Structure 1
Amino acid sequence: MEEIDRAIVAALTGDGRLSYTDLAEKVGLSVSAVHQRVRRLEQRGVIKGYTARVSFEALELPLTAFVAIRPFDPSQPDDAPERLAHLPEIDSCYSVAGEDFYLLLVRVASPADLERVLQEIRTAANVTTRTTVVLSTPYEHRPPKVGPDPVDQHRLRGVG
């Protein structure tokens, strides 16, 4: 990926609502050039969409938990994601390596709701669960590193 495209991606991951004018100023291109590059990044699937970050506390879903699941019978079809897709409390489903098969990110209003959702997960997917409740979130949704650090650039050029 070209360095200018990396700069565009970095700017948009920091603020997905940047106007093309503001984005052009940040990366040093014309508005039309930035618009074309953003469109190409979208077409190539580098930029997959634009979303709003919401406060789950404001939505009255203050309890976050990670739920690791493992099938009772590993010889059965691996269809847990499909069996659980109807549960709106599951924010994300990750296929993982290790003892567990999937790791679910669950958001609910209360411990009682978590208990209910865990039972629904076990029943719907015929799995065992291991739950970790989140106490606090120092950070999440950090923008990805899309280019070398300035220190790395100096090393590559033989400076410092």
Structure 2
Amino acid sequence: MDAIDRSLVELLQGNARLSYAELARQVGLSAPAVHERVGKLENSGVIRAYRAEVDAEAVGRGVTALIGIVEDSGGDTDDVLETFRSMPEIESCYFMAGRESFLLKARVGTIAELEHLIVRLNRTPGVASTRTGIALSTKWENRPQPITPPTA
């Protein structure tokens, strides 16, 4: 990635709905050249998706929980992950260093729904235990990170 690609990625992180003409104006290229560059960034996997950022509370998912998962030593990690993937309440899954193997970010509508999710997680073959924290509020999330050039 060169400096123009980094600029394009940063601009799209800020507003993925920018037109090729507007992107071109901001980076000093033609719209067709920007279209080609963005296509290459998509094909190479640098740009993985475009999404609408939705207010979780407005769509009935106002409870956010972070759930640490301790794996059972006899469990199959791939099976555990597939089970997590099938649960629509789980928004993110991170593989962790330390006692807990995974950290899940879940969004549900009510505390009762969170309780139901935790029970399902604890009944999952390969899960030894869970530890849950409930977010009281979200100050920010999904903040775009600057795309800095690699250090030599």
Q: Same fold (TM over 0.5)?
A: yes
2:60 matched residue in structure 1: 60
Shift of 1:94: 1.1
Whether the 8 Å contact between 2:65 and 2:135 is mirrored in structure 1 is yes
Find the aligned partners of 1:60 and 1:112 in 2 and give their Cα distance. 13
SS at match of 1:29: coil
Shift of 1:124: 2.1
2:103 matched residue in structure 1: 103
1:75 matched residue in structure 2: 74
Shift of 1:21: 0.7
Shift of 1:147: 2.5
Find the aligned partners of 1:26 and 1:62 in 2 and give their Cα distance. 37
Shift of 1:75: 3.2
1:151 matched residue in structure 2: none
Q: How is 1:8-47 mapped onto 2 (pairs within 5 angstroms)? A: 8-47=8-47
Q: Is 1:51 equivalent to 2:48 in the alignment?
A: no
Aligned residues: 147
1:139 matched residue in structure 2: 140
One-letter amino acid of the structure 1 residue matched with residue 61 of structure 2:
L
Find the aligned partners of 1:112 and 1:86 in 2 and give their Cα distance. 20
SS at match of 1:121: helix
Shift of 1:77: 2.1
Whether the 8 Å contact between 2:75 and 2:126 is mirrored in structure 1 is no
Find the aligned partners of 2:28 and 2:98 in 1 and give their Cα distance. 45
Structure 1 residues 86 and 69, CA, compared in 2 at 3 Å: closer, same or farther? same
Find the aligned partners of 2:47 and 2:125 in 1 and give their Cα distance. 33
Structure 1 segments unaligned to the other structure (5+ residues): 149-160
Percent identical residues: 44
One-letter amino acid of the structure 2 residue matched with residue 136 of structure 1:
S
Structure 2 segments unaligned to the other structure (5+ residues): none
Shift of 1:126: 4.2
Deviations 1:8-55 (A, max 9, x none): 000000000000011111111111111111011111111111111011
One-letter amino acid of the structure 2 residue matched with residue 56 of structure 1:
A
